[in-house]
Chain A
Amino acid sequence: MEIITKTNITKDKLIAEFESSKNSLFGDLKLREAAAEAFSKQGIPNRKSEEYKYVNVELLLKGDHSFSSSKKLSSQQIGSTQFLKDAIVIVIENGVYNKEHSRINPLPQGLQIFNIAEANSNETFQKHFSKYSDIKSDPFIALNGALASGGVFIHVAKSAVIVTPVHIIHITSVSEATILNSRNLVVVDENAQLKIVESYEIIDSSVKCFNNALTEIAVEVNAIVDHYKIQNEKEFGNLISTTQVLQKKQSHFSTHTFTLSGSFVRNNLNMVLDDQFIESHLNGLYLTNGTQVVDNHTLVDHRKPNCNSNELYKGIIEDKSSATFNGKIYVRKDAQKTNAFQSNKNILLSDDGTINTKPQLEIYADDVKCSHGTSTGKLDADKIFYLRARGLSEISAKKLLMHAFASEVVDTVKIEALREYIEAEISKRFE
């Protein structure tokens, strides 16, 4: 009974925050009210909710929170998070777009970046905003819909090929426990191409921070989008990161999620393949230690025939940390000739770690090739022996094997500077 009461307090607190701030928030108030209502209906998921079975979100939202932070960061501090030297940099500071710190001049032709709070009059924005994420499907999508504080709207015009990667840095720096709701919209028009990197960092903070980030991506006909998420929020970060993707005909989308640190990370990756001849790649790597909780949920919705999707998630679990993978593949009635593959591999290094995995297929079409595989195990003793016989110490043999295990995912990164950064971070982790 006690838990239920607490949940209501937390839920009421969030709804009260919406009521008191709704007139100062940007955008369409009606959309926000509908989202608030949807959130109120769903409530905060507890362990009985199938989708949040393995994580205790209630606990994270307990206590007092503020919903914004006035703490300002120096350009030096922000500079420390810009690991891509050659990139268009967008800084989202405490859930709000910070233009001064961003590096957006000059922008290549065909690429436009707007503050999401000022984009409401834009026609493309209106056409796409809030159209893909379903507020009824998840309470945190609804919460973001109600309380979104800021972010950017990125538009790549028809046939524009943007070679330089766009790097969105979500920096959080707070002095009291805070709940942030940042929101981005990316629209890549016909025949256009874009590489986009989203990174999440917390600096100069020593209190619990909860970030409920939502990114919607529309990939139009023939467009090619390469998407990366680097999550490195250290011990105070609690992150719910939702990525909602809609793909149109013959488009190509690949996404790569690297979870390097953060006390709690939940990724909701929802892909809708809404036309024929689409290709999608979903890759993920999570390295957990301490008492970290990482939960990756992916949903690939094959709605039309002749599409391919390919999914690979790998994890190394240490100490008392726990990792969850839940991959869903839907193949709808019309989606004949679908090829959908999914693979989840884990290495458990400690006796106190936990791995939960649930690869799920729901198939309603008969002419399809679908498979999933998952394996969990330890480092292969034979391989360790092989390396030790060649003079490596046990520790370096293990490190080498873990690197090799991770590299299958790291190798899918197409931006060289990013790959080097991730490799360096992984090396640091295995020290």
Chain B
Amino acid sequence: MANEILEDQIGGEYKYGFVTDIEADNAPKGLNEDIIRFISKKKNEPEWMLEYRLKAFRYWLTLEEPRWAHVSYTKPNFQDIIYYSAPKPKVQLNSLDEVDPELLKTFEKLGISIEEQKRLSGVESRIAVDIVMDSVSVKTTFKETLSEKGIIFCSFGEAVQEHPELIKKYMGSVVPYTDNFYAALNSAVFTDGSFCYIPKGVRCPMELSTYFRINASGTGQFERTLIIADEGGYVSYLEGCTAPMRDENQLHAAVVEIVTHKNAEVKYSTVQNWYPGDKEGKGGIFNFVTKRGICLEDNSKISWTQVETGSAVTWKYPSVILKGDNSVGEFYSVAVTNNYQQADTGTKMMHLGKNTRSTIISKGISAGFSNNSYRGLVRIAKGASNARNFSQCDSLLMGDKCGAHTFPYIEIKDKSAVVEHEATTSKIGEDQLFYCKQRGIDNEKAIGLIVNGYCKEVLNKLPMEFAVEAQKLLAVSLEGSVG
């Protein structure tokens, strides 16, 4: 009975599948050293940056594509991707009036009207947005307000030009180009991204946000985000992503690095809604992302919150290296898969410092024919005394054709560590549905209600504006999906 209701509802449509008709400046397809030189030249980069890219590329050539994740897909043809696509005309933009109106329309469709936010600025919801389209940053808002406080928030390309000392010091310090296949690829071909630096003792007054969108066909998106919070700094950072509907699989291989110094805190929230492919599993984004933060010094904190509803294949493990004493790592995740989506996601918590704590809450929801895996590692190194970890990963199955899996790895080398892990798998109870229906709530709303309740622990961690969006997104993903 419940299954029928669920199946009836499978069929939710992707609502961000429009293509914006903006002329783009593309590199030719394919990948070789010339393409990398081309990208570097386009970005007007200094010599050391090009050297870094080439080193990464040469290393990448020695690697094989990883296959260990619990997902199956056809290997992307790395020679069939456009590695650079910039929306034209690309000029230095000072005010919104100069932005291509087509682009503005795109943002309106995305539901992030910059104009509106500008109007609201200084009133209540204040978010500074950096928008990255086809891997080139097109607009950063509120730059002036932020710079008064000494906060640097700009595109990665700009940071390379204007703050080379910071980039040199921190880039690759958390995710070196030797880290993995896609990190190496990204280090070689990344085109842009966001950069954020919070100086000593500054609490960022507003949420910082990056919006990623793949627009042009046949392109891959390779952006890089670097966030540094110096002593006592604090920032809450949001990331959102969408892409048009296309039959082909597009590749998104990003790298995010976070560094926190003494007493600093970074909160990173993602609502990932790349195009998941159609109901037959055709098309959709391959989302292969390396995200890692390091609590470099004492008493620092990194918190990851993610709501994953999109992408055909997701392969992502936002991690925290707890190096400083008393540092804290958190990971809150909701991953929804529907139709033929596949997700293999989780986290790594590496406890190195003393008295370090980590919390992992992961909620997986699978519907349709999808497969959803949690894969996580908790490692307590020798000497990381009094480390504490609590992990909980729950799975909710909707329908009998999907799968939910957990692969937790726990490695402990210190006797004072206390580590707990719990996992459950279940489905929406008929009695829960019955209860709602009896009170006049229709099936779809009832399922939405139950799922939102199930995810509440994670959704509560999102900043206000995102929480609302995430709840809607869950409802949309589950409408027609199962949920």
Asked if B400 contacts A361 (CB within 8 A), the reply is no
- CB of A364 within 8 A of CB of B403, answer yes
A376 touches which one: B400, B404, B412 (CB < 8 A)?
Answer: B412
B467 to chain A, nearest CB (A): 28
Looking at B382, B400, B402, the one whose CB has the most chain A CB atoms below 10 A away is B400
Interface residue SS majority, chain A: strand
Question: Which of A333, A358, A375 is in CB contact (< 8 Å) with B407?
Answer: A358
Per the 8 Å Cβ criterion, residues 356-414 of A in contact with B are 356-378
Whether a CB of chain A sits under 8 angstroms from the CB of B77 is: no
Min CB distance B165 to A, Å, is 39
Provide the residues of chain B in CB contact with A377, threshold 8 Å.
417-419
A352 interface hit (Cβ, 8 Å):
yes
Q: Are A375 and B420 in contact (CB under 8 A)?
A: yes
Q: CA–CA, A13 to B209, complex, Å?
A: 61
CB-nearest residue of chain A to B416:
A378
Contact (Cβ within 8 A) B424 A371: yes
Which of B177-185, B251-259, B300-308, B391-399 is found at the contact surface with chain A?
B391-399
Q: How far apart are the CA atoms of A21 and B311 in the complex, in Å?
A: 55
Residue in B68, B397, B402, B423 whose beta carbon sits within 8 Å of that of A372 in the complex: B423
If A363-B403, A366-B399, A376-B417 touch, whether A371 touches B425 (CB-CB below 8 Å) is: yes
Point out the residue from B409, B414, B427 that lies within 8 Å of A367, measured CB to CB: B427
| Chain A residues within 8 Å of chain B by Cβ, number | 35
A373 to B392, CA, bound (A): 9
Q: Is the CB of B415 within 8 A of A336?
A: no
Determine whether the beta carbon of B425 is less than 8 Å from that of A370: yes
Between B410, B413, B415, the greatest number of chain A beta carbons within 10 A of the residue's beta carbon is seen for B415
In the complex formed, the residue of A with least CB distance to B423 is A372
- Whether B362 is near chain A, meaning CB under 8 Å from some CB there, is no
A348–B383 alpha-carbon span in the complex (Å): 14
Kindly report which residue of chain B lies nearest to residue A326, judged by CB atoms.
B409
- A246, B422: Cα distance in complex, Å: 28
Determine whether the beta carbon of A363 is less than 8 Å from that of B397. yes
Instruction: Determine the distance from Cα of A360 to Cα of B344 in the docked complex, in whole angstroms.
Output: 14
Q: Which of A351, A361, A366, A371 contacts B382 (CB 8 A)?
A: A351
Contacts of A333 in B (CB 8 A): 400-401
Residue from A353, A357, A358, A363 in contact with B395 in the complex, judged by beta carbons closer than 8 Å: A363
A371 to B421, CA, bound (A): 11
Decide yes or no: A355 and B412 within 8 Å by CB, A50-B68, A371-B423, A373-B423 being known contacts: yes
A321 to B214, CA, bound (A): 51
| CB <8 Å contact, B68 and A365 | no
CB distance from B28 to the nearest CB of A (A): 37
A336 and B400 alpha carbons, distance in the complex (Å): 9
Given A360-B405, A361-B406, do A378 and B411 touch, yes or no (CB 8 Å)?
no
Is B406 a contact partner of A348 (Cβ separation < 8 A)?
no
Q: Which residues of A contact B408 (CB under 8 A)?
A: 357-360, 374
Report the bound CA distance from A419 to B403 in whole Å. 41
* Shortest Cβ distance from residue B214 to the other chain A in the assembled complex, whole angstroms: 32
Supposing A364-B403, A367-B400, A377-B419 touch, asked if A348 and B414 sit within 8 A by C-beta, the answer is yes
In the assembled complex, the Cα of A349 lies from the Cα of B251 at a distance in Å of 47
- The answer to whether B422 and A371 touch across the interface, beta carbons within 8 angstroms, is yes
Please tell me if the beta carbons of B418 and A378 are within 8 angstroms of each other in the complex: yes
The verdict on A206 contacting chain B, using a C-beta distance below 8 Å, is no
How large, as a class, is the contact surface on chain B?
Answer: 35 or more
Q: Which residues of B contact A362 (CB under 8 A)?
A: 70, 403, 405
Asked if B411 and A356 make an inter-chain contact with CB atoms under 8 angstroms apart, the answer reads: yes
Bits for A96-117, please: 1 = Cβ < 8 Å to B, else 0. Answer: 0000000000000000000000
Contacts of A363 in B (CB 8 A): 395, 397, 403-405, 425
- Given known pairs A348-B417, A363-B405, the reply for A354 and B400 (CB within 8 Å) is no
| B367 and chain A: residue at smallest CB distance | A366
Q: Is B44 interfacial (CB-CB < 8 Å)?
A: no
A359 to B406 Cα, complex, angstroms = 8
**Is the CB of B145 closer than 8 A to any CB of chain A?**
no
Q: Mark B377-395, 1 if CB is under 8 A from A, else 0.
A: 0000011000000000001
Given contacts A348-B415, A355-B412, contact A374 B421 (CB under 8 A): yes
B426 touches A (CB below 8 Å): yes
Q: Hey, which chain B residues are within 8 Å of A365, CB to CB?
A: 397, 400
Cα of A348 to Cα of B384 in the assembled complex, Å: 14
Judging by beta carbons under 8 Å apart, are A359 and B421 in contact?
Answer: yes
> How near does chain A come to B278, taking the closest CB pair, in angstroms?
23
Asked if B420 contacts A374 (CB within 8 A), the reply is yes
How far, in whole Å, are A369 and B403 apart by their CA atoms in the complex?
14
Interface status of A350 (Cβ within 8 A of chain B): yes
Provide the residues of chain B in CB contact with A361, threshold 8 Å: 395, 404-406, 423, 425
Query: Cα distance A362–B415 when bound, in Å?
Result: 30
**Set of chain A residues within 8 Å of B415, measured between Cβ atoms:** 348-351, 353, 378
Bound form: Cα–Cα A333–B420 in Å: 29
In the docked arrangement, what's the CA distance between A356 and B408, Å?
10
Identify A360's interface contact among B407, B413, B426, B427, CB under 8 A.
B407
- Contacts of B3 on A, CB cut-off 8 Å? 366
Task: Select from chain A the residue with minimum beta-carbon distance to B399.
Answer: A366
Tell me the minimal C-beta distance from A373 to chain B in angstroms. Answer: 5
Question: In the bound complex, what is the Cα–Cα distance between A151 and B418 (angstroms)?
Answer: 44
Q: In the complex the two chains form, is A372's CB within 8 Å of B410's CB?
A: no
State the Cβ distance, A361 to closest chain B Cβ, in Å: 5
Measured between beta carbons, the chain A residues less than 8 angstroms from B426 are 368-369
Whether B413 pairs with A375 at a CB distance below 8 angstroms is no
B contacts, CB < 8 Å to A: 3, 68, 70, 382-383, 395, 397-427
What are 30 A-to-B residue pairs whose CB atoms are below 8 Å? Answer: A50-B68, A348-B414, A349-B415, A351-B383, A351-B415, A352-B382, A355-B411, A355-B413, A359-B406, A360-B406, A360-B407, A360-B408, A361-B395, A361-B405, A361-B406, A361-B423, A361-B425, A362-B405, A363-B403, A366-B398, A368-B427, A371-B422, A371-B424, A372-B406, A373-B421, A375-B418, A375-B420, A375-B421, A376-B418, A378-B416
Q: Across chains A and B, which 3 residue pairs bring their CB atoms closest together, nearest first?
A: A366-B397, A370-B425, A355-B412
Which residues in A have some Cβ–Cβ distance to B below 8 Å?
Answer: 50, 333, 336, 346, 348-378
6 A-B pairs besides A361-B405, A374-B420, A376-B417 with CB distance below 8 A are: A351-B383, A353-B415, A363-B405, A366-B397, A371-B424, A377-B419
